[in-house]
Amino acid sequence: MNLSEPVIAAMIGASATLTAATVQVITAWRRHRAEGDRRKNGGGIRSLVMMLLIVLSSAVAGYAYSQYRLQQVHDETQALHLDMQQQLHLLETTTAKLEQIRLNAVTGVDGQYAAERHRGVEGVAALVQIPACKAPQPTNNSQRPTCTEADALRVAVCAVIPANAQVSGVELFVRPDDSQQPWSEARVSAGQDAGSAKFIDAPLERVIEGGKQVCNSFASWSSDKGRTGRVVVRYTLP
pLDDT tens digit sequence for 165-206? 999 999 999 999 888 899 999 999 999 999 899 999 889 999
SS (H, E, C) the chain: CCCCHHHHHHHHHHHHHHHHHHHHHHHHHHHHHHHCCHHHHHHHHHHHHHHHHHHHHHHHHHHHHHHHHHHHHHHHHHHHHHHHHHHHHHHHHHHHHHHHHHHHHHHHHHHHHHHHHHHHHHCEEEEEEECCCCCCCCCCCCCCCCCCHHHCEEEEEEEEECCCCEEEEEEEEEEECCCCCCHHHCEECCCCCCCCEEEEEEEEEEEECCEEEEEEEEEECCCCCCEEEEEEEEEECC
More confident residue, 156 or 136: 156
Task: Give pTM, 2 decimals.
Answer: 0.53
* pLDDT exceeds cutoff 80 at 234: yes
- CATH 2.60.40 for the 123-236 domain, yes or no: yes
Dump pLDDT digits (tens) for 8-65: 665 666 666 666 666 666 676 666 666 655 444 455 566 666 666 766 766 666 666 6
- Average pLDDT of span 220-234: 92
Band (pLDDT 50/70/90 cuts) for residue 218 is very high
Domain ranges of the chain: 5-96, 123-236
**pLDDT tens-digit map of 99-127:** 777 666 655 667 788 888 889 999 999 99
